[in-house]
Amino acid sequence: MTQSERDTSVEGVALIVGGGPGISSSCAKLFAESGMRVAVAARNPEKLVLVALEKAHGVRRYACDASDPAAVAQLFGNVVQDIGTPRLVVHNIDGRVPGIFRKSIIEADPVMALETVRNSAFSAFLIGQQAARLMLGNEPDANGARGTIVFTNASASLKGYPSSGAFAMACHAKSGLAQSMARELMPQGIHVANVPIDAAIGWTQEDGTRAHRLAGTTVDDNMADPDHIAKTYLQLHRQHRSTWAFEVVLRPWVEKW
């Protein structure tokens, strides 16, 4: 693809870091359907859901350990070379290692706690850093925007639950990073948004129902729908700069908070 071809897309390039059947998949589909050239990065880009996105929507797949600075730098270099400089970057990585779930502060393995922070907050730093470096070189669009960076976050960014210290630490760190970046970059034309999802996320299963591996099957919209989360992300990207939102908390209508 030539540089002129890269520059003629109406919506530009979107990069989603973190690949799975929930938010990342929904974002990839919606962004592609909206005219963007879309890339998805994951440690395992051979996941069936990512292969399906490539076949159905032309989504480019990339292998990347987002907690590795060199791998992240290479990812952005590859995306720029293949499809152009991103104008929308979504960091959608939970980061928890399985062994840290539901561990009290005295039970939590320090190595797993550090890995959780590295996978989540540190990877968000690396992705945000590379995205900002590139976006500052983008020409402002009609809205005066050079790009948008969205960080998916969780309930733990708003409240530290018991037996979840490592994840609370990681989520609070990501919120602090996003807030610092927003104050630094928004005056330079880069919209930064932190989006805590205060809910279980139920994505569509093969039988057509929406379900969560622990919370069961969605009943009466009691779980967040990733397709509608994706719509919120796209709306954030398209917001007028006079009303850029920084933190948008999403939760179902019946969620207790």
pLDDT in tens, 206-224: 777 776 776 668 777 999 9
pLDDT confidence tier of residue 1, bands split at 50, 70 and 90:
very low
pLDDT in tens, 127-141: 999 999 999 999 999
111 three-state secondary structure? helix
In the chain, the percentage of residues whose pLDDT exceeds 70 is 94
Residue 9 has pLDDT above 50, yes or no: no
DSSP count for the chain of H helices, then E strands: 8, 9
Q: Mean pLDDT, to the nearest integer, of 22-51? A: 97
Contact between residue 211 and residue 188 where contact means Cβ atoms under 8 Å apart: no
Percent helix, strand and coil across the chain, each to the nearest 5: 45, 20, 35
* Beta-bridge mates of residue 63: 42
In 3D space, the residue among 19, 137, 157 whose CA is nearest the CA of residue 84 turns out to be 137
pLDDT of residue 161: 94
- The chain-wide mean pLDDT, for the chain, equals 93
pLDDT of residue 151: 98
pLDDT of residue 174: 98
pLDDT of residue 6: 43
